[in-house]
Structure 1
Amino acid sequence: MAVYTDIEENALKNFLLDYDLGSLISFEGITEGVENSNYRLVLSSGNYILTLFEKRVNSAELPWFVGYMGHLAKNNISCPLPIKAKDGQALRQLANRPALIVTFLDGQAVKNITEQSCLELGRALAKLHKAGEGFDSERSNKLGAQGWKALLSQCDSHGDQKIEALISQTHCDLEKVLSHWPEPKELPRGQIHADLFPDNVFFKNESLSGIIDFYFACTDFFAYDIAICINAWCFENNEHYLPQRTAMILQGYEEFRPLSPLERNRLPVLCQGAALRFLLTRLYDWIHTPPGAKVVKKNPWDYQKRLTYFLEHKSV
C-alpha cells in the first residue's frame, strides 16, 4: 500500500454518497507498500480501506480481483470483501482513478516472525490455494518469468555506478534462473496470492486473523507462492537464511495440501525466481518512483542477497 494520488475531502464525501456506508468521520493515507494509493476510512458505519489503482494494475482486470476476493470470502478465507455501491457495482472512479472500497480486517502484521507464525502462514496459504480451486477464471502473472527480461530492460542506472553494477549482475542471474525455470504445465497451478509478505498477513492474539492486498493475485504455480513466502519470511536482517522457518511453512502447508515430489524438487529454482521478481520490481520502483510520492521505497539489494543465496544453495 502507498499514496500516489491525494484526495480532497469534499470529493471523497461526494464519492461516498453512492454508498450506504454512512458519513465520513476521518481518513488518512497508508504509506506502506509500493503499488496503489490506499486510504483508511473511518465512517459512521465502521472502518474500511479505499484503494485507488495506479501503475501496474490493468483496469480491465479489476473485476477479476473483485470476483476472486468475493469467492475467497464465501469460502471461509478471512480477506477484505469488496463493498458494492447503491447501483450494485463495487468498482467506481475517484480522482480519475479506478476505486474500490473493501472491508477492514482486524489485526496487525506480525512484528517478530516466529516459527509458529510461519506454521500458521503455511496453513493459511494452503487453505487459500484450496479455496481458489473453485474460481475458474484465470489471470496471467504479468510479473512472471515471461516478463522479467522486459522489466529489467526498463531499468536505467542514469550514471549511478551502484545501480549499474546491480543491473549488470541481474542480467547474468536472470539467464541462470530462466534456463532452469519450469514449463507452464510442469507443476500444479491455480490462483495464488503472489505477494504474501508479512505486512499482508494479519495476526490477532498471536493467531493468524486474515490476509490482505490481493492485487498481484494471479494464476501460476502453487509452489511459486510458497517460494515467495520463503523469500519474504525466512531471512533475518535481510541476509541470514533461517531454514527452520521454511520447514515450518512447508509443514503447515502440507497439513492441507501435500506437495508432489516434483514440486519439492523445483522449489529451489522457484525461490530463485521469487527473489529475482522482487529484485526487479524494487529496482524499477527505486528508479521510477515519482518525487513527492508518499511511499517508502523498498531496497532492491536486499533481494539481490536472497537471489545470490538461492543460486549458491540448491536446497531450501
Structure 2
Amino acid sequence: MAVYTHVSAEALAAFLQRYDVGELISAKGIAEGVENSNYLVDTTRGRYILTLYEKRVAADDLPFFMALLDHLDTKGLPVPPAIKDRAGEEIQELEGRPACLIKFLSGVSLSHPTPAQAHAAGDAMGAMHRAVADFTPTRPNSMGIETWRPLFERCGRSMDDIASGLYDDLGHALDAVEANWRGADLDRSAIHADLFPDNVLMIGNQVTGLIDFYFACTDIRVYDLAVMHTAWAFDAKGGGYDAAVGEALIASYEQHFPLSPFERAQFQTLASGACIRFALSRAWDWLNTPADALVMRKDPLAYVRRLKHYDAELVKRSV
C-alpha cells in the first residue's frame, strides 16, 4: 500500500455518498507498499480501505481481481472483497483513477513471523489454492518469467548505481533460471503471487486476512509457495535464513497439496526466479519512484541476498 494520488476530504465525502456506509469521519493515507494509493477510512458506519489503482494496475484487470476476491469470500477465506455501491457496482473512479472501497479486516502484519505463524500462513495459502479449484477466470502473470528479461534490460546498467556489479550478478542469475525453468510441466491455478508477511493479517497465531491481490494471476501453483518462502523465511535485509519458518510454511501447505518429487526438484529454481522478480521490480522502483511520493522504497539488495541462499542450496544439491 502507498499514496501517490491525494484525495481531498470533500472529494472523499462525495465519493462515499454512492455507498450505504454512513458519513466520513476521517481518512488517513497508508504509506506502506509500492503499488496503489490507499487510505484508511472511518465513517459513522465502520472502517474501510479506499484503494486508488495506479499505473501498474491496469483497469482491465480489476474485474479479475474483484471476481477472485468475491469467489474466495464466498468460500469462507479471510479476504477483503470490494464493497458494492447502491447500484451494485464495485469499481468506481476517483481523482481520475479507478477506485474501490474495500472491506476492512482486523489484524496486524508481521515483521518477524514465528514458525507457528508461518505454519498458519502456509495453511491459509493451501486453503486458498483449494478454494480456487473451480475458479474459471484467468489472467496472465504481469510479472511472470517472460517479463523478467525485458525489465532487466530496462533497468540496465543503472542498477550498478544501486550496487556495484548488480547488473552482471542479476544477469547471470537470470540466465541460470531461464535455462532450468520447467513451468510448462507444473500445475497451474489462480495464485496470489505476492503473499508477503505484510499481506497476511494475524491475531496471535491465527490468520485473519489475506490482502493485496493486485498481482494475482494464473500461473504455477507451487511458484506461489516459493514466493511466500522467499518472503517469510528471511529477515528484512534478506539475511538470517530461518529454516524453522521455511519448513513450517512448506509442511502446512503440504497438508493441502503434498509436493511431488518433481515439484521439490524445481523448488529452488522457482524460489530463485521469485528472488530475481522482486529484485528487478524493486530496482526499477528504486530508480524511478517520484521524489514526492508518500511511499517507502524497498531495498532490491534484500532479494539479491536471498537469491544467494537459494543458489547455494542448489549447488549443494548438485554436488
TM interval, shorter chain, is over 0.9
- SS of the residue corresponding to residue 296 of structure 1 reads coil
Measured in 2, the distance between the counterparts of 1:133 and 1:115 equals: 28
> Which residue of the partner structure matches residue 277 of structure 1?
277
> Which residue of the partner structure matches residue 134 of structure 2?
134
- Does the CA-based 8 Å contact 1:31-1:294 persist in structure 2? yes
Measured in 2, the distance between the counterparts of 1:77 and 1:159 equals: 40
- SS of the residue corresponding to residue 285 of structure 1 reads helix
> Which residue of the partner structure matches residue 168 of structure 2?
168
- SS of the residue corresponding to residue 108 of structure 1 reads coil
> Which residue of the partner structure matches residue 53 of structure 1?
53
- SS of the residue corresponding to residue 41 of structure 1 reads strand
> Which residue of the partner structure matches residue 27 of structure 1?
27
Larger mean CA deviation between 150-159 and 194-203 belongs to 150-159
> Which residue of the partner structure matches residue 313 of structure 1?
313
Is 1:201 the counterpart of 2:200 in the alignment? Answer: yes
What 5-or-longer segments of structure 1 have no aligned partner?
A: none
- Does the CA-based 8 Å contact 1:40-1:49 persist in structure 2? yes
Amino acid of the structure 2 residue aligned with 1:90? E
- Does the CA-based 8 Å contact 2:69-2:80 persist in structure 1? yes
| 1:168-227 C-alpha deviation (Å, 9 max, x unpaired) | 22112111111101132x011101111111111111133111111111111111110111
> Which residue of the partner structure matches residue 74 of structure 2?
74
- SS of the residue corresponding to residue 26 of structure 1 reads strand
- Does the CA-based 8 Å contact 2:160-2:167 persist in structure 1? no
The Cα shift of 1:148 comes to 0.3
> Which residue of the partner structure matches residue 187 of structure 2?
188
> Which residue of the partner structure matches residue 304 of structure 1?
304
Residue 164 to residue 58, structure 1, CA distance change in 2 (3 Å)? farther
The Cα shift of 1:160 comes to 5.8
- Does the CA-based 8 Å contact 2:37-2:51 persist in structure 1? yes
| 1:229-268 C-alpha deviation (Å, 9 max, x unpaired) | 1110101352122222221111111112222221111111
The Cα shift of 1:157 comes to 4.8
| 1:98-135 C-alpha deviation (Å, 9 max, x unpaired) | 00111000111124311101111110000010111111
| 1:15-47 C-alpha deviation (Å, 9 max, x unpaired) | 111111110000000000000000000011100
Residue 14 to residue 146, structure 1, CA distance change in 2 (3 Å)? same
The percentage of aligned residue pairs carrying the same residue is 39
Amino acid of the structure 2 residue aligned with 1:286? W
The Cα shift of 1:305 comes to 0.7
Residue 85 to residue 161, structure 1, CA distance change in 2 (3 Å)? closer
Measured in 1, the distance between the counterparts of 2:284 and 2:191 equals: 23
4+ residue stretches of structure 1 with deviation over 3 A? 156-164
Once superposed, what is the RMSD of the aligned Cα atoms?
1.5
- Does the CA-based 8 Å contact 2:123-2:249 persist in structure 1? yes
The Cα shift of 1:163 comes to 4.3
Is 1:14 the counterpart of 2:14 in the alignment? Answer: yes
Larger mean CA deviation between 63-72 and 255-264 belongs to 255-264
- Does the CA-based 8 Å contact 1:157-1:164 persist in structure 2? no
- Does the CA-based 8 Å contact 1:156-1:287 persist in structure 2? no
Residue 199 to residue 162, structure 1, CA distance change in 2 (3 Å)? closer
What is the TM-score with the length of structure 2 in the denominator? 0.95
What 5-or-longer segments of structure 2 have no aligned partner?
A: none
- Does the CA-based 8 Å contact 2:57-2:214 persist in structure 1? yes
- SS of the residue corresponding to residue 142 of structure 1 reads coil
Measured in 2, the distance between the counterparts of 1:205 and 1:162 equals: 37
> Which residue of the partner structure matches residue 210 of structure 2?
211
Residue 159 to residue 287, structure 1, CA distance change in 2 (3 Å)? closer
Amino acid of the structure 1 residue aligned with 2:276? L
- SS of the residue corresponding to residue 252 of structure 2 reads helix
The Cα shift of 1:12 comes to 0.8
What is the TM-score with the length of structure 1 in the denominator? 0.96
Measured in 2, the distance between the counterparts of 1:131 and 1:34 equals: 28
Residue 234 to residue 91, structure 1, CA distance change in 2 (3 Å)? same
> Which residue of the partner structure matches residue 259 of structure 2?
259
Larger mean CA deviation between 273-282 and 204-213 belongs to 204-213
- Does the CA-based 8 Å contact 2:159-2:166 persist in structure 1? no
- Does the CA-based 8 Å contact 2:72-2:131 persist in structure 1? yes
- SS of the residue corresponding to residue 203 of structure 1 reads strand
Amino acid of the structure 2 residue aligned with 1:104? F
Amino acid of the structure 1 residue aligned with 2:151? L
> Which residue of the partner structure matches residue 110 of structure 2?
110
Amino acid of the structure 2 residue aligned with 1:235? F
The Cα shift of 1:55 comes to 2.4
Measured in 1, the distance between the counterparts of 2:280 and 2:55 equals: 15
Q: How many residues align?
A: 315
